[in-house]
Each structure stands twice: as C-alpha cells, then as structure tokens.
Structure 1
C-alpha cells in the first residue's frame, strides 16, 4: 500500500515518553496522572474526562515545557530519523497528530524536518511570567474523536492517509477513512492490537516502512 499523507502520534510512537506523565513525575504526581492517561489510551475513559484534570494538577510552566521538549528528543524511538528521512525522500507528506502539548513537540518536529504547520497538538497558554494559565480548550485534540476530525480535514485535500500510533485516540482516525497502523514498540495495548488495520511490535519505527511505501 502507498499513502500520500503519513500521520504519526508523538507520545509512545515518535518518542518513548508520555509527555504529560513525565511532567507529572517532575512534580511528584506521576502515579495519579499516569493512571488517568492510561485509562484514556486504553479506551476506559474519554479523553475529555482526563485532559483538563491532568493539566490542572500539573500546571506546567514554560520552563517545564522546555524541559519536556528536550526529553522528547533524548527519548526518540529507535529508527525515527531514518523512517522520516525515507518517507520524505519518497515525497510523502508527514504530519504529527497528537493530544500532547504543541510547544513541547515542535522542537522534535523541527529536528525531523517536519514543518510547524504540520504539527497538530494542544497549545499551552502562559501568563506574562511564563506560568501556566490554561490550555487551548477549543482544540479538537483535547477531546475524543479529535484525531478523526484532523484526519477528515486532511483527507479533503489528499486521497490516501495513514495514522500510526499506540492508543485508542489513534484508532479514531479510522472513522475518517484513514488506514490505521498500531505501533506496539513502546506500549502494547490489546484494544489497539485488536482493532488496528495492521500492527507492528518491533522496537524500531522503521518496521512501518514496508506497510506504507
């Protein structure tokens, strides 16, 4: 199969970490927040039931977001750079579609040569001192079904699209007519393994290449 647009989740797909959980760990709130993240990714809770909740607990300031941006890059999944380079060499359009925090994901995208306007994630809002103020509550990616909305938007301009990710929210891309590849190289989730169109368990992201080219 060959796709015009290749979309990647970020957390546990491009990078080994779950960003919001790591921000929580930094604040001594890891267990509380990770349980909420996991419940959402496994489809036990709706994303909107945990999103505001987690950020209200953590209140990540600008310094925390900069710290997370560096962690995303340091913990990049094996094979990510070569995978993206190969896709770019084959003239594929690459987007990141993530329920994560956009300012933390942008430096990783930049390192991979993915333009800022192809990064779909949730903006964090700070006050003038760089303290946490809020997040973009209108963002489709802070609620269930958001990834399907972004994929639908992309499919208006492109014929074929694939979504690669590890969680329940990535499966939603199928509702927009996208092909969905589950990536189990970091976390294996039975629901995703069962419902994805294809599933890879290799530790390297390069395992998806034969499925998309």
Structure 2
C-alpha cells in the first residue's frame, strides 16, 4: 500500500468509539496527523465512525495503523488508517480464505473428528494457523492421520459446513460493483468446489486429497497451496483480471494467509490468531464478514437489512 495523499481513521466495534478515537488521535498526532470531524458509518449492530486525517506529508497507512495496534485490545475495537481514494471502495478482486473465514469451521478438523483423531489434529491446526509450525509439514502430518477415512465422510462434513455471518452480503455487494470473487484455501478442493458452485465464484484453489478404493490414502496430490502459493495466485488472478493490486481485497485468518494479505491493496485478518492479528495490515474482530464493507467506505444505509 503506497503512501496516501488523503486518508481516514476508521474505528469499528460494539461499544462507544469515542474513548478509542480520542487515544488514537493522540497517537497519530505524534506522527504529525490531525483528525477531522467524525462521520457516523454505522450505529445499529456495530458502532463505526471515521475521521478524515490530514498531515503535512503523504500518509503511510500501514505504518499508522500499526501504531494503533496496542489500543485495539485495550478498547475492544478495530482501528485502521485507510486511503481515502477511489481504490478504497472500487475493489475488483476479492481473494478470501475458506476455513474459519468464509466458513465457520476448519475442514480438516471436521474430517479428523470423523476419523476419530479430532483432538490431535485440532491441536496441530491451532499451532499451524498461529505460525508456530511449518504449514506444509503440519498439513502433511494431519492428512496422514486421516488415512483410511471413507470418502463419504467428506460429504457429511460438507453438509454441516456453514458460511460465516455476512459472507453472502459481502460477496453480493462486491459482485454488484464488478468484483471477481476467489477462494484460495489451504484446505481441500472437495469443499471449495461446492462453494464455487453455491456462491458463483470466479476462481477457487485448494489442496487435493489422494483417494484409493474409496478411502483417503493419507497423502496429497499436486502442488500444495501454502502461504507463498496463495500470494502467487493472488497476483496471477489480478493479472488475469487486469486490475492493479490496489484494487484487490484479501481476507484470511491464519499465518499462511499473511503473504497474500501483504500483497493486496487491503489485507484483512478476520477474527485471526494472535500472531496474525499482530502482523496483518488491518484486523477485523467482529464475527460478521459484511463489516469488511465498512473498511471499504460503505455506510450501513447502503447494505441490505
């Protein structure tokens, strides 16, 4: 994200934003930035306000946002300094993670429950998503524990997989603005294929489980979709769509999502693991994907009830 000539401070949460904004204003003043008057963005389910920012030099939005990171836990809000330009709202490519982001569950953990190894796999997943383990090694280890699981167990998991709140609103609003939608997942294509059809996705990428005689072999087929591959796919899709990276929105929750969050014009860590929240460009800590639209400059009145 390049330095912006115009920017806003956005504060989003479930409580009165005024105390957090006051402290944020003091922190930003140390960097030579001044807050303008508030604009109420939302006031029903969430309390969202934004303030125009002014300074004597172009504003490094990511650096300014990082300055405010410590206030988020203290006040229970999300704070972001965002460019106030056309690209903020006019996103042309959404790249979103699947597990614990677009959907509420972790597919591999649900498969592990079917295989009777739920606790062991869930423990590895938590550490991998927080960046404590190598993603590829942790994925291979977890898939190995699924060896022998009948393929029909995948259908049971798919049947109980639920979209995250606000997912369809986010996708519908962005698509109306001409935005292509892609799921890029470190999970499995058995599930992304079904979401592709259900949601009318433009692209979907994920890992493929190896199957023999109707059972999982405990191996993967083909190139693994890890953090580096996610970032590369984002750039490939942006090129195919002929859009600059400033028009790309990326959303994810795990350490393997950080590379693509960094590449996108706006990268949002959605209810993310602690280390991911600390490192991500922008965070969103409410369980509603439609709140991402406030980061893009939409107002509550523009969203469906």
- TM normalised by structure 1 equals 0.87
Q: More displaced, 169-178 or 98-107?
A: 169-178
| Cα 1:205/1:175, change in 2 over 3 Å | closer
In the TM superposition, what is the alpha-carbon distance from 1:3 to its structure 2 partner?
Answer: 2.1
1:33 aligns with 2:89: no
In the TM superposition, what is the alpha-carbon distance from 1:65 to its structure 2 partner?
Answer: 1.7
Aligned partner of 1:195 among 264, 279, 304: 279
1:207 aligns with 2:295: no
Q: Deviations over 1:156-198 (max 9, x none)?
A: 33312221011111111145455310101xxx42222222221
Q: Which runs of 4+ in 1 moved over 6 A?
A: none
| Cα 1:89/1:144, change in 2 over 3 Å | closer
1:13 partner SS: helix
In the TM superposition, what is the alpha-carbon distance from 1:85 to its structure 2 partner?
Answer: 1.1
Higher helix share: 1
1:44 aligns with 2:128: no
1:69 partner SS: helix
2:105 partner SS: coil
Distance 2:151 2:235 in 1: 32
Higher strand share: 2
Unaligned runs of 5+ in 2: 1-87, 298-305
1:121 partner SS: strand
Q: Deviations over 1:21-57 (max 9, x none)?
A: 1111122211111111111100001111111111110
Q: Larger relative CO (CA 8 A, sep 6+): 1 or 2?
A: 1
Task: Provide the aligned length of Structure 1 versus Structure 2.
Answer: 203
Aligned counterpart, 2:165: 78
- TM normalised by structure 2 equals 0.62
C-alpha root-mean-square deviation of aligned residues, in Å? 1.8
Unaligned runs of 5+ in 1: none
Q: More displaced, 14-23 or 59-68?
A: 59-68
